[in-house]
Amino acid sequence: MDKTIIARSAVEMEEIGIDLAVNLSDGMLISLVGPLGSGKTTLVKGIAKGLLITQVVISPSYLLFRSYQGRLTLHHLDAYRVSSLHELAEVGLDLLLPPETGVSAVEWPTRVEGIVEASDILVRIDLLDDLARRVSITS
């Protein structure tokens, strides 16, 4: 699948995530590529809603990752401060790329070699203006 959607608000970005969640199953890896403030975390909030997760999803930036329970477990990773797969392996996070159970959504996947290539779904977000984002989804 290859599709491009324009999200004109954070709410519309969440809706894209909700729609994505329907087709997720155990073991899937999702890469979210896009500049700071483009809406990667917002889209993951939508995925969480779609997976019937009721916990509040916050950016995992300072913790590397957070996991949430819903229809499937959602592992939300932020690789911004990571420089190698070895570094992730030292704390066992390589086991989430992809995960055995649940799905992993990774922000800044390009920081670590191989994550984008291993992904089942690649989401690319471009800033068009203050509110509009172009969201390209490849799976």
Ligand X SMILES: Nc1ncnc2c1ncn2[C@@H]1O[C@H](COP(=O)(O)OP(=O)(O)O)[C@@H](O)[C@H]1O
Supply the minimum distance, in Å, between the C-beta of residue 134 and Mg ion. Answer: 17
Is residue 31 part of the contact set for ligand X (CB under 6 A)? no
Supply the minimum distance, in Å, between the C-beta of residue 19 and Mg ion. Answer: 20
Residue partners of 70: CB distance under 8 A and separation at least 6: 48, 51, 52, 53, 54
What's the one-letter identity of residue 1?
Answer: M
Residue partners of 135: CB distance under 8 A and separation at least 6: 4, 5, 6, 7, 13, 16, 39, 43, 123, 124, 125
Site for Mg ion in 6-35 (CB under 5 A): none
The correct pick among 3, 4, 23, 37 for binding ligand X (CB under 6 A) is 37
Is residue 41 part of the contact set for Mg ion (CB under 5 A)? yes
Q: What's the token pair of residue 116?
A: 């984008």
Q: What's the token pair of residue 137?
A: 């989804």
The correct pick among 29, 30, 38, 70 for binding ligand X (CB under 6 A) is 38
Which of 1-9, 50-58, 68-76, 83-91 is the region at the interface with ligand X (rule: CB under 6 A)? 1-9
Size, binding site for ligand X by CB under 6 A: 19
Candidates 39, 32, 48, 33; CA nearest to 13 is: 39
Is residue 128 part of the contact set for ligand X (CB under 6 A)? no
The correct pick among 36, 56, 62, 92 for binding ligand X (CB under 6 A) is 36
Residue partners of 56: CB distance under 8 A and separation at least 6: none
Supply the minimum distance, in Å, between the C-beta of residue 42 and Mg ion. Answer: 8
Binding residues vs ligand X (CB under 6 A): 7-10, 12-13, 34, 36-42, 59, 107, 131-133
